[in-house]
Amino acid sequence: MPKVENTSVFGGLTREDVQSMSWEDQHAVVMKELRKVYRDNLQPAEQDYHYDRFKPSTFQDTLACSTPLVLFIGPFSAGKTTFINYLLGGDYLHTGPEPTTSRFTCIFHAEEENQMS
């Protein structure tokens, strides 16, 4: 796996800073940064296009009470699983030169590593 430089990733924190935090603190940092991205990038577009006229709740309302969900989609053997393993910091999902993932996989945080079928 390629070495990643120790650069700022969230609000001036380095990757190592974030990895040393508890799950709850990591979640708080990510949610704070998502709110900032929303405020700086999406909210102006919502206001410009009068999003509130056809959707009663804004994206900000969703951010306040939801855990983020990320979907990786793309052609086979494009590196989706390799990227997920990189984000997780280990080889949790099998990778190979031929298509290897033939079903949907959901990954959640837990205190202990476990696999459900």
Model pTM score: 0.47
Is the distance from CB of 25 to CB of 7 less than 8 angstroms? no
Q: For residue 73, what pLDDT band results from cuts at 50, 70 and 90?
A: confident
Q: Report the pLDDT value the prediction gives residue 77, as an integer from 0 to 100.
A: 82
Q: For residue 52, what pLDDT band results from cuts at 50, 70 and 90?
A: confident
Percent of the chain scored above 70 by pLDDT?
76
Q: Is the Cα dihedral 100, 106, 109, 110 positive or negative?
A: negative
Across the range 84-105, mean pLDDT stands at 81
Strand (E) positions, 1-117? 8-10, 13-14
pLDDT averaged over the chain?
78
Q: Which two tokens mark 15?
A: 């990757």
Q: Report the pLDDT value the prediction gives residue 33, as an integer from 0 to 100.
A: 84
Q: Is residue 60 over pLDDT 70?
A: no
Percent of the chain scored above 90 by pLDDT?
1
Cα angle 98, 104, 109; round to 5? 115
Query: How far apart are alpha carbons 71 and 54 in whole angstroms?
Result: 26
Q: Which two tokens mark 39?
A: 């405020």
